[in-house]
Structure 1
Amino acid sequence: MNNDFEEKLRRYEEGKLNDSEEEEIENEIEKYTAISEYLTMENNALINELKQGMPVRNKEESMPAKQLKRKVNKRIIKMTAISVVSILIILTIAKFLTTTIATALFELDHKEAFVERETVVQLTAMFYPQFVSNNSGTKKFATTQQAVHVSLENIVGNTKVDETELNVHYSFGKPKQVTTEHLPLLGEASSQVNNFGDGFDILENAPEGTKARIKVVFSESLSVNQLRELKETLSTQINTLDITPLAAIGSDFVVANPSYYVFRPVYPYDSNNTAYYEDAIIKQELYENMDNEAHTESYISNLNLIKNNKELVNIMFYHTFADSTIDKIITNVKRDGVEYIGMYLTADSKELLSLKDHSEVDRIWVENIVVW
């Protein structure tokens, strides 16, 4: 036993070695122990035979020293191999169990991650209706770390004006942080700086054949039926898919009412959810035809989505809505139906000038004009 080994052994007893040094010392100790046990057994057998007056003539004792050493080494190698394999098996099982348990307890499983991603997309459509999301997904990092990413594209006609991406980071299955460039919320419609004349002046000066997306504020709230009637008086080229209706949450926030029926709040690939999606297809058709009941139900469901995801909403939009505020609005909507204070509308720049003749329109402002 050399001085270096003695020094390491002393430090091992004092608990001052790192993990790799401890493992090296423990392996050496196991080797010495195996040799010692083997020699002790042989000595005991020899002593017993001598005590009984029996001649010591077994095979092992008549072996040359080289053969005996080889046998001892084989036993040591065998014991070492068994130990290493056992440790690897234990570590593999432990890693599997800890990962499985951590995923089950602290992460979103694939079904939960699917619904969470859909929730982020739907909330984004409510608070950032000027963008569309054609791509979203989930990313997994280290154990208990996940992220939902949503691509956001500002598209008018066939032109992509700009794009960005919103990433919501999760830790232990809970939203913790959002990373994206600052995106403007709709805010309160009355705070916008553009006025009635300016918006229409821009449209009048726009070249023929251009497309524009405008934000319209109504002079007073319109029911779904009134909005449908307004749409029908406009150009026949404008369909309901070109309209994004806007509603107010109190006096602080304006949100869109994107169809709740294209949102997938339950995992779609379970057979027991088939009936839900069959019903959603029917309601989506009613929503596109501007049915009052379908729009009202969609808005109530969207409000409940905000209420049931307060932590996520706060992280994404830096605002918390009190349950009492949401509950009061839901009560009013159930009684009176959803009422819209404005809308986003995309159409030919010149066709949009017809809004100037409608008393329902208080003011407009032009967000984008494109040539195609």
Structure 2
Amino acid sequence: MTTPTSAVAVPPSARSRSAQTAGAGGSDFARLARKVSAAGLLDRRPGHYALRFVLVGAALVGGWTAFAALGASWWQLAVAAFLGLVFGQLALAAHDLAHRQVFTGRRASETAGRLVGNLGIGMSYGWWMTKHTRHHANPNHEELDPDVAPDILVWSRDQARAARGLPRFVGRHQAVLFFPLLTLEGFNLHVSSVRALRRPETKRPVLEGALLLTHLGGYLAALFLMLPPGTALAFLFVHQAVFGVYLGCIFAPNHKGMPTLRGSERPDFLRRQVLTSRNVRGGRFTDVALGGLNHQIEHHLFPSMPAPNLRRARLLVREHCAELGVPYHETGLVQSWREALRHLRDVGVPLRAGDASARAGG
């Protein structure tokens, strides 16, 4: 199951079991959904989210209060690192809002999402939600999932063979360069958010743009009015670098290195979500640090399920997959990064082989 470039195939035992049970109790997913619903795991958790938002909000206020109190000091870099982690938690909150895990209504979710995303961290809620919805519909599909579209990095050997320019250069060594490149991901999110304002699919671009401009203006004004230029630039880099690396450490283990889909390959919903996702083992600290996305299989099956319920749903999902003979992949956090990096190294083989052939021919 961890072979990076393998296509998603439903094991014969899973297909036969599915055929035997579909008529009696609905689809494999429908039967699982009934179990999950009966356990109350789709119910909202307002108390959890109220406490979570208060704590993250307090951390945000505390970070900027420390920034104001320290003034022109190189200790500001510690504040920058702390705020990078806080921004990561705000991004996770925006993620849960986008999936309507907090509020059932669309308007409340979008309003809160724009406040947290656009105003809080300078990331377009509308752009990210559109992109993330496409990812959930077709996870790890090379033509349909924007998260595995070739950009600076390539995610399959076919993409590597077609790469030109900078992606071709980076692709040769992308496993080594992956974490250094994540230091730029925070900047990339801000730039992509501004660019998205001109796209026709972006809803309410004026509102989103105004909130992004307010965030950017206030952020840069605070840095360059309160700090000397050198310290301000160092704060800016450390803050955005920690933010980017933190997000990458959260999201990379979820699908990278898992089987991919191509063309018309389209298993049923349950298998499409389970076979392309990876869970990360851990305790409550892991749940908090990764925002519950360490239970990626359960999240993809039930995107609107409140994050604190995912751990309990895991037992039902794992048992259900075992009954169907559907592989359920779960590993430790460090091992998940190893698998993702192994995948990046593997898909770069055609580029390195081409270099070796060129040297031999020369």
TM-score range relative to shorter protein: under 0.3
Larger radius of gyration: 1
- The structure where strand makes up a greater share of residues is 1
**What TM-score do the two structures reach when normalised by structure 1?**
0.24
- With CA pairs under 8 Å and 6+ residues apart, which has the higher RCO, 1 or 2? 2
**What TM-score do the two structures reach when normalised by structure 2?**
0.25
